[in-house]
Structure 1
């Protein structure tokens, strides 16, 4: 009888050890999964952002332009953004070239502000881009016909995360119209 109760105690001990090992392995697996998820940064935005200017044509002393922002969400979660703004600066044919100060890292200074605004209405709290989707935003404006070069800049803030911003810029030569030079196709 003593032997049976000793066998029962040993069996109970083995079962309890097995349960403890199973619990420790489950906790270890959960920690490993969390570590892998955190390391992959799936919650981190994977957004490509480009800006462009389409020069449409000349009317009187103005050139009609379409300012374009292209966003592509390459991540796996939808991304919300706010304060989606643009700034178009330029140099006219009469302007002298010059470098800016420390604020623009002594780069070429496009000192004429041609247009400033937002790609989304001001009463929208935010906009979003779903995973795998490429979205274009546009704004139509005009610039003086004597503008020779433009610098288009776009900026936005991610809704998640404090002060996480994204910027894109592009420099373009303005085509000449009136039969001298056709706009790019």
Structure 2
């Protein structure tokens, strides 16, 4: 009877050791292939005259993982915080002025790809009028191309009278997104 208990204990220790090894391997493999994209937004302002500035919006996509990823449906939206008639900024911080209506920067099924260890910066420029004190920039993307979603958007826009895919209004329901608020530099009075 002691030999059967001894065999049972050996089998138990073997199974316990094997399960710990399998759990460790699973942990390292799943973390290695996990999506590790860091997404951020930066901006630079260039004054072009007394009335307007150009805002260079940088969508920064950094792949911190081990696999190459395709970034589909990269979209951008820019709204402004206008100055009130008395020169003050609205107290409720309501970004009501649409500077750049939500649009794709690249139309699906086209995509940007980001290789492992690479930081890719996609730049888009918009004009900002002098009566805007701050802008709210929202960017987003998906990892997968969704043809059904694309077709639904096209049908919706056809009903609204959009002329082509490039004019599609894209709702920001992207699972991966970033939002930032930037202060618009004001012209200094002499």
Fold shared by both chains (TM-score > 0.5) = yes
Kindly state the Cα deviation for residue 60 of structure 1 after the two structures are TM-superposed.
Answer: 5.3
d(CA) in 1 for partners of 2:36, 2:108: 26
In structure 2, the partner of 1:45 is 35
Q: TM-score, normalised by structure 1?
A: 0.66
Gaps of 5+ in 2: 1-10, 147-172
| Runs of 4 or more above 3 Å deviation | 28-34
In structure 2, the partner of 1:173 is 183
Name which of 26, 32, 39 aligns with 1:35.
26
SS of 2:27's equivalent?
A: helix
Q: How many residues align?
A: 144
Alignment deviations for residues 138-159 of structure 1 (CA, whole Å, 9 cap, x no partner): 1112021111011111100112
Name which of 104, 119, 142 aligns with 1:118.
104
- Structure 2 counterparts to residues 27-176 of structure 1, below 5 A: 28=18, 31=22, 35-38=26-29, 40-59=30-49, 61-94=51-84, 96-98=90-92, 108-116=93-101, 117-120=103-106, 122=107, 124-159=109-144, 165-176=175-186
Gaps of 5+ in 1: 1-20, 99-107
CA shift in 2, pair 1:84/1:133, >3 Å: same
> Which structure is larger by alpha-carbon Rg, 1 or 2?
1
In structure 1, the partner of 2:164 is none
In structure 1, the partner of 2:152 is none
- What is the CA RMSD across the aligned residues, in angstroms? 3.0
Alignment deviations for residues 90-141 of structure 1 (CA, whole Å, 9 cap, x no partner): 111115232xxxxxxxxx4312211133332x26522210010010001112
d(CA) in 1 for partners of 2:143, 2:53: 33
- Structure 2 counterparts to residues 16-27 of structure 1, below 5 A: none
Kindly state the Cα deviation for residue 174 of structure 1 after the two structures are TM-superposed.
Answer: 0.5
